[in-house]
């Protein structure tokens, strides 16, 4: 599970993954599940996913959520997706 509290919403806003309005909507939800659902909905609905996904992954790393990055980059445990994700992360640095 993504930790939608503390630093992640602000980090996503600083990378222009979330607008300030979206960040506030995420933080206004009551439960972690509601916050996760709202956060992922905003990220998935972005028009330029090729830029947003690597930035999202970088923000997860910056907020010590490597377990989520590993899940995303390994396609839920399948190693075939790893190279594409790794290249995306490197290009964000």
Query: Where exactly are the structural domains of the chain?
Result: 8-92
Q: What is the pTM of this model?
A: 0.72
Q: Which residues in 1-93 belong to E strands, given as ranges?
A: none
Does residue 84 have a pLDDT over 60? Answer: no
Q: What per-residue confidence (pLDDT) applies to 77?
A: 53
d(CA 21, CA 48): 19
Does residue 71 have a pLDDT over 90? Answer: no
83 or 25: which leads in pLDDT: 25
Q: What is the pLDDT of residues 4-53, one digit of tens each?
A: 887 899 999 999 999 999 999 999 999 989 999 999 899 888 888 778 88
Task: Judge whether 88 and 41 are in contact, CB under 8 Å.
Answer: no
d(CA 64, CA 53): 17
Instruction: pLDDT band for 76, please (50, 70, 90 cuts).
Output: low
Q: What per-residue confidence (pLDDT) applies to 72?
A: 78
Does residue 82 have a pLDDT over 80? Answer: no
Calculate Rg over the CA atoms of the chain.
13
d(CA 78, CA 9): 28
């Amino acid at each position: 599970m993504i930790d939608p509290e503390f630093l992640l919403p602000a980090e996503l806003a600083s990378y222009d993954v979330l607008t300030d309005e979206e960040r506030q909507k995420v933080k206004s939800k009551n439960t972690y599940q509601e916050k996760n659902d709202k956060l992922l909905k905003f990220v998935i609905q972005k028009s330029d996913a090729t830029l947003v996904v690597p930035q999202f992954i970088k923000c997860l790393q910056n907020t010590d959520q490597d377990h989520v990055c590993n899940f995303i980059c390994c396609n839920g445990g399948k190693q075939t997706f790893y190279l594409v994700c790794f290249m995306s992360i490197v290009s964000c640095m």
